[in-house]
Each structure stands twice: as structure tokens, then as C-alpha cells.
Amino acid sequence: MLPPVKRYPNPEDGGGHAAVPGAGAANGPEPGPPGAAAELPSVREHTWRRLDTGFAGGARNMAVDEAILQQHAAGAVPPTLRFYGWQPPAVSIGYFQSMAGEVDRDACRRLGIGWVRRPTGGWAILHHMELTYSVVVREELLPGGVLETYRALAQGLLTGLRSLGAPAELSALPAAHPAEMNTSACFEHPSQYELVVGGRKLVGSAQTRKQGTILQHGAILLDIDYDLTFAVLRLSPEERTRQAALLRRRAVGLQEALGRRVTWEEARDAVAAGFAQALGLRLQTSELIAPELAGVQVLEREKYGNPEWNERK
């Protein structure tokens, strides 16, 4: 690990996992009105790194996020906005979920879909036709609790999505009927605050904090295969059909919201510009540094690609 630099001194170790609005049950104090600017924390470091790491499998993707967190916490790299995709597609489950209880791994094998446990909380999600983003920033550079920092970062997402023409909102939604809340799919679970279009969820995010550093990552749906989403979860055939029908009412892909095709690259560039505009950032395109690449190898082999991590609950 590189020694800390003066600009990013080593923080004390922290911890904790949280689902944020858009990824399951919200944590933290009762919020005020959505988008109330006066309540949003301000970014204290405006030069961030932008990474486009392309498409990879689930274990590699999660390893990269954590390797970035480790190096930023150590002072080796600036705050980072990363974009990536999933190839092959994969199901990720929240930190506290049970892989055996939530994911039909036999179905995943037949369909060529991977699986991985995230370091963040929240619910299961099939990563398929989506743009995934992650933000890594020290808590002292973006102060506030889970809800406050989520809403601050959501301004970047909102600005980017609106620039594409999507009428996205950070909206308070009514709770679903308990009888409908019997799956563990991320986009099945309405939370108090959601990034929505026409009341249907478009983005699901989750956040964790370690070593005094925030890691938030999330899925921006470009399109949705409603049936495939539930084909990889442990549900009866009848329940899969019923939940797929419910999901059509609760979630929407960006292409449906816009009524046109949106490429991964177009969405990525719009969201990057949205973060820069909304948070006042100077994004510098960069690549992973050598210690990050070394950390990715270790984390992929020993953690995210290891059944002891993925199947431990």
C-alpha cells in the first residue's frame, strides 16, 4: 500500500453497511422534502477521478470497488466516480442476505449467469442491461449520514438522467402492500425515497462505509428482462410470473422511459456530466493504479470469487 499523502491522510478505520433509498429499507433520520437543497451536504474536494473500467464478471466488479476504497482511504488516489458493466450478467445479493435462500444457482448455471455477494446492504438484483456507477469518497470530503449523502449524490444522477430527456425525480413513494413484498429483488422493494420516472423505479443504489470512506454503487436500468429477473431467484413458477407482472408496474428502463434506444456509452457520459454539474466536480479521466490492480487480484481470488464469502449466510 502506498503511504498516505498530505492531501488524503489515513483515516481511522470505520465500518457499517446500509441499504440506501432505492435499494431497500432506508436508514437514518426521517428526511425532509425530497430534493431540499438546504439539507444536502457539500462536497469538500472538487477534483475527482473518473474511471471507465468496462465490462467484467461479478467478482471482479466488486473487487475493483473495494480496491478503490482501500487506496482512497490510504490517500493514494482522489475521490473516484467509476462506471462499469457486467459480462457475463450476474446476480448480486446484499451483504446480509443468504445466497442459498435467495438465488437459484442451478438456474444461474443453466443461463450462464454468475452470482456474488456485495459489500453493501440492500436486496438481490440481476445485473444485465444496465449502467453501473460507483462513488468512493472519504467521509470528511462528503460529510453527512447515509440518507444525506445518498441524496447529495442523487443530484448527479438526476441531472444526468434529465439531460437525456428522462423526467426523473427523487420521489417519496407509498409503501407496498405487505402481501406483495415477498421477494428479495431490489427493484421490487419501494423505499421512502426513490429515483423514479412516472412513479416507477429507475435506479437502485446501496452504500457502505469502511476506513472512514463511503462506497456507494448503483444500477441504472437501460432495459429490463422482467421474466429473467425472477428466473434466477428461488421462487415457484407461479410466484415468478406474479412478481414479474408486479415489477412491470414498479420499475422502468431508461429506454422505455425515453421511447428510444440509449447506448451504455451515451448513458455513462450523461451521468458523468450530471455529477460534474450538480456537485461542482472537475472529473479527470484516469485508470486504476498499480496498487489497485494488485488489490483487485487479491480481493477477487480471496473474497468475491470465494464461496466462503459468497455463501457464508
SS (H, E, C) 57-98: CHHHHHHHHHHHHHHHHCCCCCCEEEEEEECCCEEEECCCCC
Query: Which residues is 49 bridged to in the sheet?
Result: 80, 284
Instruction: State the Cα–Cα distance between residues 147 and 138, nearest whole angstrom.
Output: 16
**Known catalytic membership, residue 108:** no
For residue 226, CA distances in Å to 128, 189, 192, 298 come to: 11, 15, 23, 35
Instruction: State the Cα–Cα distance between residues 272 and 283, nearest whole angstrom.
Output: 8
Please count the residues of the chain: 313
> DSSP labels for 126-156?
EESSEEEEEEEEEGGGS-S-HHHHHHHHHHH
For residue 86, CA distances in Å to 44, 60, 131, 168, 242 come to: 32, 9, 9, 24, 27
H-helix or E-strand containing 205?
strand 200-210
188 in Cβ contact with 181 (< 8 Å): yes
Q: Of the residues 64, 69, 186, 221, which is catalytic?
A: 186
Q: Which residues are catalytic?
A: 186
